[in-house]
Amino acid sequence: MNLYDTHAHVNLAAFKEDYKEIIKQAQQAAVIVNNVGTQKDTSKKAFDLAKEFDNVYAVVGLHPVHTISQDVDEEESHFISREEEFDYAYYKALAEDPKVVGIGECGLDYYRLPEDKTLEEVKTIQKEAFLQQIKLAKELDKALVIHCRTQKDSSDAYEDILEILRLEKPSRFEIHSFTSNWGIAEKFLELGGYIGLNGIITFDKSGVLKEVVKNCPLERIVLETDAPYLAPAPYRGKRNQPNYVEYVARYIAEVKGLSFEEVCKQTTSNAKALFKV
């Protein structure tokens, strides 16, 4: 049964020693993989992997945390982000290749703020990079892969992205790693977007994402892992990998009262339509 992991990072250092083995495991499990860039070097690595493996595609772009240098301290990683301005010509040269199916991950991230910048300064810098990537996605007719992370107990970044999308009107987009409520999800669906769901739904105790899974039409859901991060419940705390996308599909099937096969078939069809694969 085919599955499509629309968002993985086998192009990151976490897979430096065994990326070929991980991709071959995905091939054996009939999983198509989008490797997603976060800045120039990881986008180039995603591009190289897409050229090397038949079941792998690339998404290239600049992650909002890399628009400003800052200390990123997460449960699963700790690093100093390298500041980069969006280089339109560089990313366009990569994205013109047919195995590059999207631009991103790009968007807004207000979760942490560098000590030397105000929220308004961060918003201005991130928004400019986001707008440039929307422009590139539209110019090359590529899907837009959107990262969104809010300040704690807020929907601020989601609301700002919605406002930008209403003005800019990208033709195809998805909200990667969706973590807000059904009301917010509905607004993205009204704009024609897809909702990207990953292992978070299998361990979210709030019930908020379960409501999103219940209410979101299967025709508007795409699956992802965000590997090496956010491993689903059976592998919580371990390094995530693309073939674990199966557990995201199984959870959705359980919540919606559908067969695993039906979820696989429809979400793979959705991903192929979104990314024109």
pLDDT digits (tens, 9 = 90+) for 124-133: 999 999 999 9
Q: Where is average pLDDT lowest: 72-86, 193-207, 247-261?
A: 72-86
Q: Where is average pLDDT lowest: 92-96, 149-153, 241-245?
A: 149-153
Whole domain around residue 82: which residue ranges? 3-275
pLDDT of residue 78: 44
The pTM assigned to this predicted structure is 0.95
**How many domains would you assign to the chain?**
1
More confident residue, 104 or 152: 104
Average pLDDT over residues 250-255: 98
pLDDT of residue 70: 63
Average pLDDT, the chain: 95
Average pLDDT over residues 217-244: 97
pLDDT of residue 205: 95
Q: Is the pLDDT of residue 56 over 90?
A: yes
pLDDT tens by residue, 71-106: 544 455 544 567 899 999 999 999 999 999 999 999
Average pLDDT over residues 239-252: 98
Q: What is the CATH number of the domain that holds 177?
A: 3.20.20.140
Return the HEC string of the chain.
Answer: CCEEEEEECCCCHHHCCCHHHHHHHHHHCCEEEEEECCCHHHHHHHHHHHHHCCCEEEEECCCHHHCCCCEEECCCCEEECCCCCCCHHHHHHHHCCCCEEEEEEEEEECCCCCCCCCHHHHHHHHHHHHHHHHHHHHHHCCEEEEEEECCCCCCHHHHHHHHHHHHHCCCCEEECCCCCCHHHHHHHHHCCCEEEECCHHHHCCCCHHHHHHHHCCHHHEEECCCCCCCCCHHHCCCCCCHHHHHHHHHHHHHHHCCCHHHHHHHHHHHHHHHHCC
pLDDT of residue 74: 47
